[in-house]
Structure 1
Amino acid sequence: MGRLISTVRIFTLVLTGVFIAHIFAAPPVHAADQVDWQLWEKETFARANTENKLIFLDVGTQWCTACKWMHETTLSDPAVISRLNENFISISIDAEAQPDIGERYAAWGWPALVFLNPDGSQVKALRGNRMPKNFIPILDQLTTAHQQNKLVADDPFPEADQPADGDLRQLLATATAQLDDQYDIANGGWGGKAKSSLPAAIEYAFWRSNQTGDTLWQNRALQTLSRINDLMDPVWGGIAAASLTGDNPKSWADGVIPEKKTVVQAGALLNYAQAYHLTGDHQWHAQADKIVDYLNEFLRSPQGAYYASQDGNIRQQSTPSAAAARDGYYSLNDSQRREQGLPAVDKTIFADINAQLITALVELYAASGERRYLDMAEKTANYLITHHLLPDGWYAQTTQDPAPKYGERSVNRLRELPNRQKLYLRTQSRMGHALLSLYQADNNPRWLQLADRLAKGTISYLLDLDLGGFYSTPITGIQLGDMSADFKPFIDNAVMVSFLLDLDNYVGQPEYRRIAEATLRVISAPEVVAYEGRYIGEYPLALDKLINGNLLVSVVATEVNDQALALHSQALAAYEPAKILRIEPPGKYPDRGEPTLYACTDELCTNPISDPTQVIPEMRQFREQLQQIDHSD
């Protein structure tokens, strides 16, 4: 039976003062001057057990600057190579290309340097890069202890075997309090000295403020976004990966880590669009446009999808520190930078990250009314449908564009990409949200059909039919000691829950809601939620959707004429993060002889609205009434 295992998402830096690095990985090779890397598969673990060898895991990503340190020094050192090849079975994993494994080991940062017994039980995990003089003694100590049978397995993961049976509202209150406790009132954001955008926490803050009328959460979201502005590259645009701010920083920019990850751009773009949608303040639109401009200039493929990341520096060897990059290269203007050269781009296309960009671009379209954002989102979606969609309705995680544009360097990939046809929960949950956001924006039934097909395929392959919840990938049968490697990732399950609840509102499939509730209970073990710390924004959002429901907004029309489209356009422009918007024929609602909009909860509806100019004020007034009802309970 697969267990829920939680791992905490962390930044691209080690809190001990060194960058979190990645280390060199490749497909299996057998040259004496390279590590003999193997794949994460059942046969590799069986071989380790048969040969009674320890297992060394290198888990990391492509974008982190200090990863090159591990590649250039430690894992290219002959003494390290000989020890690993003689005494260990070595496995290397790209955490973005294989998000199931990345999720499991994210708590150790990148690289996570993990050592397992031959039976797969964990005996040691290291956070961050190690120089040869430090790494070689570790390898020797582990080898000797293993030969003397002195290694003791640790217990690194909180886990839950049974679903939580508590009151859902209490689970929501506990999760909200957890975020509340970790908010940095003085400096904005959640957590301490290490800061990143945490888009899910910001999204939940906006959502909660809208649901309850509590402006405290709205103010927190806006305060945090004002500090995220400090991470914006003033020349090219784009948000830096993270910041080490120190105590009481004047600016998050004081400790900026200059790598630019597309997933960070997607999260910040969504939050800026939400802020603009809520406030109408054009500063947020301007910040969003800086991200869009950066993405289109540096990370957009000719087919309209977006590459994974851009390095934080222009050197291939002897990587400078973040401070040197910031104070040197990033203090230059555009022409001066281009004269020195452009930081390299990882031209891998990850479906889950592109899906998050689609959702963000659609939100920016809804907030601004500018069609170009929707066109970008649709072009990206069409790329994913053409190149990633597989026959059972789910999406492969990766493709790669090897051809750099003129003057651009493409990174030397540290790890070859795994089999691109493997099914990952993370990819499906994010893609589901992207497809529904497109359907809400233009009412094209194609998007809804694809979303429903995706849900059915994911349920068929990944749902635990006994306890509920979704596995990260189809069952592998790999054992990590007495624990199965097949697990149910916390955040990915929460995102899947939100998708299924939204989809049920569109297609009227109660089974989706039943699966969603069972899934939430499976991931709600108190020790697991607490372990996630401030990285839980998707979880209370899913709980709130399940408990309080969405606002169903329907334009009822016998034909989609100009009036129906105008009602739909105004409803899309209305700030209401909980809305489920569609155009539908009479049936559920009566035919009034002209297109008419209804906005309803399970218990209340607005008056019928036929005048497009009244949609936004009527929906705003209705939400205010709902907030008062909620506060009176």
Structure 2
Amino acid sequence: MPDTIDPARENQLANETSPYLLQHKSNPVDWQPWGTEALAEAKREDKPILLSVGYAACHWCHVMAHESFEDSDVAELMNRHFVNIKVDREERPDLDSIYQQALALLGQHGGWPLTMFLTPDGEPFWGGTYFPKQDMYGRPGFPRVLEAIAQVYRDEPDKVHKNVAAIQNALQDLAKPQRAGVIDLATIDGIADRLAGEIDPQNGGLGSAPKFPQPGILKLLWRSYIRRGQATHREAVELTLRQMSQGGIYDHLGGGYARYAVDERWLVPHFEKMLYDNAQILDLLVWAWQDTKKPLYRQRVYETVGWLLREMIARDADSHPVDAFAATLDADSEGEEGKFYVWDADEIDRILGEDAELFKQLYDVRPGGNWEGKTILNRLHNPNLLDKATENRLAECRKKLFEVRKDRVRPGWDDKVLADWNGLMIAALAEAAAAFEEPAWLEAAQAAFAFVRDTMQVDGRLKHAWRRGKLNHPATLDDYASMAKAALTLFEHTGQAAYLEQAKAWVSVVDRHYWDEEDGGYFFTADDVDDVIVRTKHAHDSAQPSGNGLMLGVLTRLHYLTGDSGYREQAEALIQAFSGELERNFVPLCTLLNNVELLNNAMQVVIVGPRDAAETAALLREVHSACLPDRILQVVADGDALPSNHPAASKQMAEGRATAFVCRGQTCSLPIMEPAGLAQALRA
């Protein structure tokens, strides 16, 4: 192996589009993006690859960058011994998935920054996450790690080859999940009961610190409450939503939820805000409001959508707004985590004057603060909303503080558009628009959908990422699944057939390029992606719902909407491909389980009548004001427009008026023309 540095090599990130990669363009490290050139160089020089994976809003990524990647001595070691590759995990979730799995196989916890050491063929043999520059936190210093790995690669190739073979075989095994038979509702009920018992009875959420929202689990519990009347399950979800919504994880001034809390009380957030988290939480808030009509949920929906439409609209190369949604807001500003969001008591006194005492009492503002000498605004000690006059007064206080905060240095913004994250938000925003009768929200959802459909497709194939006019990377399974879900949601709320046809077209692409013909289930990457060492396949939710879990919901809805039994057969094959995984660990399979319930418990609501008629709108209002997780909605001019095998096929308006039918299985209700009667039927 050469001991000298190629003088022609230099940092290659300046021409990338990813904000995360551009953050590292001036490092003294000779970073390269992932690609054939970097891998070829590693082979040519017989050097191991140092792969560093992170994302723009990642606090510990920034820490490691400042400590090590900006340090010329550390960079010299990296450049001497390794070919160094930077990857944005949001642009290449397929690569991140592979190497996170590899790290887990080494017995280590995953996370970011991910630091993996690979052979020139891209095969992992050792790794970790954040390494400090000096020995601390029980971790070896990064320079010591670099020297040790370089020595092992040079002098002990047998060890490297042994690790490579073991990890590679294990990765191949992970792509073959356990098959079994059907999953019935009784199994889901048992899982819901067990998960409900794991909810923190004081603070909500699953487990202790750090605490994540885990929307898939909360949705499973809420569905159990709706279907079975399990009040304890509703209480578990409501406790979690209330504590999150009144805790420091929520931005009480600007709206939106942070990624997670570092404590068990939801007080101290990891301050980054992610599009996908807020999409999933928005879904839950809408469900909770539909069922309870509690003002807190309504307020958080409006504030979070306000944040989305104010701060998360992406921009083109000329900095003009486009119709799609940006990815993330950073945890850091001015080099400090959370600096943009925290306050001290003197600031509050100066800005709010005579209202300061009331505000400080209710928002936990006190001398010395509640976190590192500063105050994270929260209402954990006073979570219940007060009388209207007091809440209006507090709202005025928040507006004043928000106006002052606008002049602070803002956190970093990653404005790339990701197809999968946009799909999640489009669907959530469309549902919120219907529930709260906000047509502008539906228009925003439709515009974002049109952007992804029209701008992020090439020859009928989606791309994963877009930023400032540039498309990057083949779509993953999650991109197609999320956007197909968005298409079907928009079809339900608009009746426009183009949305249904687009969903069918995307499913056709996924079946052709992602389905595993041998073992069933969908691979994460397409069959023509050639720069990954293994095609992963799983149904595990991460911070995002799993692509296979989402695809089960898409196939289910297509079956009911079109009457095509082929979609149901594919859905059942998908369930069988992963059903054996329940015996290993059911906790990350909640999106899959939620859509198993949808397949087996769908409520088909059909309204026969002109969509723009007042009578139809009155019936739709009842549908959208009720929490119906298993609802599949169609508005048709007459029943002949339904598939011939639909239980409401050929049903017509009664007495010349818009008429609703509520169907389960092959049985439908009697014709319903009055909104009150429909509300009663939906509750039943």
TM bucket (normalised to shorter chain) is: 0.7 to 0.9
Counterpart amino acid of residue 605 in structure 2: V
Alpha-carbon offset, residue 422 of structure 1: 0.9
Match of 2:176 among 156, 161, 179: 161
Are the structure 2 counterparts of residues 382 and 529 from structure 1 closer, same or farther at C-alpha, using a change threshold of 3 Å?
A: farther
The equivalent position to 1:33 in structure 2, one of 22, 28, 32, is 28
Question: What is the CA-CA distance between 1:578 and the residue it aligns to?
Answer: 0.6
Partner of 2:449: 381
Compared CA separation, residues 101 and 217, structure 1 to 2 (3 A): farther
Say how many residue pairs are matched.
570
Distance 1:558 1:274, change over 3 A: closer
What letter is aligned with 2:547?
A: D
Q: Is the 8 A contact 1:556 1:596 kept in 2?
A: yes
Structure 2 CA distance, aligned partners of 1:259 and 1:431? Answer: 24
Aligned position for 2:549? 494
Asked if 1:56 is matched to 2:50, the reply is yes
In structure 1, what is the Cα distance between the partners aligned to 2:675 and 2:336? 60
Aligned-pair CA distance for 1:426: 0.9
1:100 corresponding residue in structure 2: 94
- Give 1:163 shift: 4.8
* SS in structure 2 of the partner of residue 130 of structure 1: coil
The separation in 1 between residues aligned to 2:289 and 2:125, in whole angstroms, is: 49
- Look up the match of 1:556: 608
- Cα separation, 2, equivalents of 1:511 and 1:529: 30
Residue 222 of structure 1, CA deviation: 0.9
Matched, 1:423 2:462: no
* Distance in 2 of aligned mates of 1:82 and 1:217: 56
Matched, 1:590 2:651: yes
8 Å CA contact 2:192–2:221 kept in 1: the answer is no
Q: CA RMSD in A?
A: 3.2
1:349-368 mapped onto 2 (5 Å cutoff): 349-368=417-436
* Residue 112 of structure 2: aligned partner: 110
Aligned partners of 1:299 and 1:479: how far apart in 2?
31
The alpha carbon displacement at 1:551 in A equals: 0.8
Kindly state the Cα deviation for residue 605 of structure 1 after the two structures are TM-superposed.
Answer: 2.3
Instruction: Output the amino acid matched with 2:464.
Output: Q
Mapped contact 2:258–2:274 kept (Cα < 8 A): yes
Q: Which residue of 1 aligns with 2:266?
A: 252
Deviation sequence 1:126-174 (CA, Å, 0-9, x none): 1224326611111111111122223341547672636512342276457
| 1:543 lines up with 2:543 in the alignment | no
Tell me which of 123, 126, 130 is aligned to 1:124: 126
Structure 1 Cα separation of the partners of residues 336 and 430 of structure 2: 41
Name the SS for the 1:236 alignment partner: coil
Distance in 2 (CA, whole Å) between partners of 1:46 and 1:429 is: 34
Mapped partners of 1:80, 1:485: distance in 2: 34
CA shift digits 1:433-469 (9 cap, x unpaired):
1111111112122221221122112222211223221
Contact 1:27–1:39, Cα closer than 8 Å, also in 2: no
Greater relative contact order structure (CA < 8 Å, 6+ sep): 1
- Alignment correspondent of 1:264: 277
Ranges in structure 2 where 5+ consecutive residues have no aligned partner: 1-17, 101-108, 136-140, 315-320, 344-370, 378-399, 541-545, 641-648
Match status 1:87 vs 2:81: yes
CA displacement at 1:554 relative to structure 2? 1.1
Cα-to-partner distance string for 1:402-456 (whole Å, 9 max, x where unaligned): 9xxxxxxxxxxxxxx8x62512111111111111111111212222122112211
Kept in 2: contact 1:494–1:539 (CA 8 A): yes
Give matches, 1:167-178, under 5 Å. Answer: 167-169=182-184, 172=188, 175-176=191-192
Distance verdict in 2 for CA 1:487–1:165, change over 3 Å: closer
Q: Which amino acid aligns with 1:257?
A: H
Letter in 1 for 2:667: L
Cα 1:527/1:363, change in 2 over 3 Å: closer
| In structure 1, distance between residues paired with 2:419 and 2:301 | 21
Q: Give the equivalent residue in structure 2 for 1:400.
A: 467
- Please state how far the C-alpha of 1:199 moved relative to its aligned partner: 1.7
> Does the Cα contact within 8 Å between 1:67 and 1:129 map onto a contact in 2?
no
Q: How does 1:222-261 map to 2 (within 5 A)?
A: 222-229=238-245, 230=247, 231-246=249-264, 251-253=265-267, 255-261=268-274
Decide whether the 8 Å contact of 1:38 with 1:89 is kept in 2. Answer: no
Structure 1 unmatched ranges of 5 or more: 1-21, 403-416, 622-633
Q: Give, in whole Å, the separation in 2 of the partners of 1:338 and 1:258.
A: 17
Q: How does 1:185-204 map to 2 (within 5 A)?
A: 185-204=201-220
Residue 324 of structure 2, aligned match among 305, 314, 320 = 305
Cα offset, 1:563, TM superposition: 3.1
- Could you report, residue by residue, the CA deviation over 1:222-270 in whole angstroms, capped at 9, with x for unpaired residues? 1110111112222222212211115xxxx411x2222222222222222
Structure 1 SS opposite 2:126: strand
| Alpha-carbon shift at residue 596 of structure 1 (Å) | 2.2
Is contact 1:108-1:125 (8 Å) kept?
no
Secondary structure of residue in 2 paired with 1:185 = coil
* TM superposition shift of 1:512: 1.8
Take 1:277 and 1:396, find their aligned partners in 2: how far apart are those partners?
35
Other structure's SS at 2:326 match: coil
Question: Quick check: 1:65–1:312 contact (8 Å CA) kept in 2?
Answer: yes
Distance, in Å, in 1 between the alignment partners of 2:402 and 2:291 is 33
**Mean CA deviation greater in 562-571 or 419-428:** 562-571
SS of residue in 2 equivalent to 1:113: strand
Inter-partner Cα distance in structure 2 for 1:293 and 1:257: 21
CA offsets 1:276-319 (integer angstroms, 9 cap, x no match):
1111222210111111122222222433322212223321x466
CA distance in 1, matches of 2:612, 2:269: 50
Counterpart-to-counterpart distance in 2, 1:89 and 1:384: 35
Match of 1:513 in 2: 568
Counterpart-to-counterpart distance in 2, 1:233 and 1:495: 29
State which of 347, 367, 374 in structure 1 corresponds to 2:415: 347
Q: Rate the CA distance shift 1:88–1:218 in 2: closer, same or farther, 3 A.
A: same
Alpha carbons 1:48, 1:89 under 8 Å: kept: yes
Q: Which structure would you say has the larger Rg?
A: 2
Structure 1 residues 32 and 435 mapped into 2: Cα distance closer, same or farther (>3 Å)?
closer
- Deviations, residues 188-224 of structure 1 (Å, cap 9, x unaligned): 1112211122122222222222222222222211111
Q: How far did 1:111 drift?
A: 0.9
- Determine if the alignment matches structure 1 residue 138 to structure 2 residue 132: no
Q: 2: distance between equivalents of 1:446 and 1:323?
A: 43
Give the conservation status (yes or no) of the 8 Å contact 1:23–1:111: no
Assess, with a 3 A threshold, how the Cα gap between structure 1 residues 614 and 355 changes in structure 2: closer, same or farther. Answer: same
TM-score scaled by length of structure 1: 0.81
- For 1:440 and 1:182, the matched residues in 2 are separated by 35
Find the aligned partners of 1:32 and 1:244 in 2 and give their Cα distance.
30
Counterpart amino acid of residue 268 in structure 1: I
Distance of 1:619 and 1:338 partners within structure 2: 45
1:457 to 509, 512, 531: 509
Counting only pairs closer than 5 Å after superposition, residues 407-446 of structure 1 correspond to structure 2 as 420-446=472-498
Shift of 1:47: 5.7
CA distance in 2, matches of 1:559, 1:146: 68
Q: Secondary structure at the match of 1:69?
A: helix
Secondary structure of 2:125 counterpart: strand
Residue in 2 aligned with 1:414? none
Match of 1:420, SS state, is strand
User: What percent identity do the matched residue pairs reach?
Assistant: 21
Distance 1:70 1:339, change over 3 A: same
| Structure 1 stretch displaced more, 502-511 or 80-89 | 80-89
User: How far off its partner does 1:186 sit?
Assistant: 2.9
